[in-house]
């Protein structure tokens, strides 16, 4: 045994639901610890979701710090995910991983394109905001994906990307902070910082003014 001994589970430790077969028949069948670790980590991510079906972006597992520490590389994580899919514990639908249940499979067949794919068909000159969010802010949950899509529709082209970059530059990595930046720009103009001093943008136009200017041009 190596490393520091685990101190035990505290009184407030959160408990997560785990499908019973994973602790019985599947536990006996899974011979590769990489597959088991990826499956268990998927269940952790799934437990953070609300609504149905609960789904996790494949990229969230691939870039997860816990799995990277446990397995050493994205390649090993991908191998573990693939083994879980081949076994049938998980399945993939449009870039999302789901626990393989009849309800989830039915929902996947009935649903349209996932938010990440729907956004991929938009303007290709700028980075995909979903990828940008995942790489710089945190896990892209279905709820956050919906918020990003709504913001992209509401604000002028490029504002969401710029707000994400400003949040990262300020070392505040949360959607609520990004949303606050967008609301301030809409109210005061994108050239005005929170201090009220002019920013790097040549014109402090509000979102409404910019949209009106674009309609007239």
**144: cis peptide before it, omega within 30°?**
no
pTM summary value: 0.54
CA distance 199 to 29: 59
Q: Are 43 and 67 in contact (CB under 8 A)?
A: no
Token pair belonging to 79 = 């191998």
Given pLDDT bands bounded at 50, 70 and 90, which one contains residue 133? confident
Given pLDDT bands bounded at 50, 70 and 90, which one contains residue 208? low
| Highest mean predicted confidence (pLDDT) among 7-21, 34-48, 147-161, 193-207 | 34-48
Q: Helices in 122-194 by DSSP H: which ranges? A: 129-136, 142-154, 159-169, 175-188
Please state the rounded mean pLDDT for residues 200-215.
Answer: 49
CA distance 45 to 1: 28
């Amino acid at each position: 045994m190596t490393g520091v001994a685990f101190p035990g589970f505290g009184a407030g430790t959160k408990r997560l639901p785990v499908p019973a077969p994973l602790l019985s028949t599947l536990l006996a069948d899974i011979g590769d610890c990489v597959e088991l670790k990826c499956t268990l980590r998927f269940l952790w991510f799934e437990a953070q979701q609300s609504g149905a079906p609960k789904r996790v972006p494949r990229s969230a597992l691939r870039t997860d710090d816990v799995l990277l520490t446990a397995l050493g590389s994205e390649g090993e994580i991908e191998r573990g995910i693939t083994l879980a899919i081949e076994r049938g514990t998980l399945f993939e639908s449009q870039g999302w991983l789901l626990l393989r249940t009849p309800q989830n499979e039915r929902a996947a067949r009935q649903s349209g394109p996932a938010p990440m794919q729907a956004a991929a068909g938009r303007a290709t000159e700028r980075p995909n905001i979903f990828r940008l969010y995942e790489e710089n802010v945190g896990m892209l949950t279905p709820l956050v994906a919906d918020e990003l899509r709504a913001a992209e529709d509401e604000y002028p082209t490029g504002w969401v990307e710029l707000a994400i970059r400003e949040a990262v530059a300020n070392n505040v990595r949360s959607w609520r902070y990004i949303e606050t930046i967008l609301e301030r720009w809409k109210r005061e103009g994108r050239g005005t910082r929170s201090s009220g001093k002019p920013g790097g943008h040549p014109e402090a136009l509000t979102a409404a003014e910019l949209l009106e200017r674009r309609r007239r041009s």
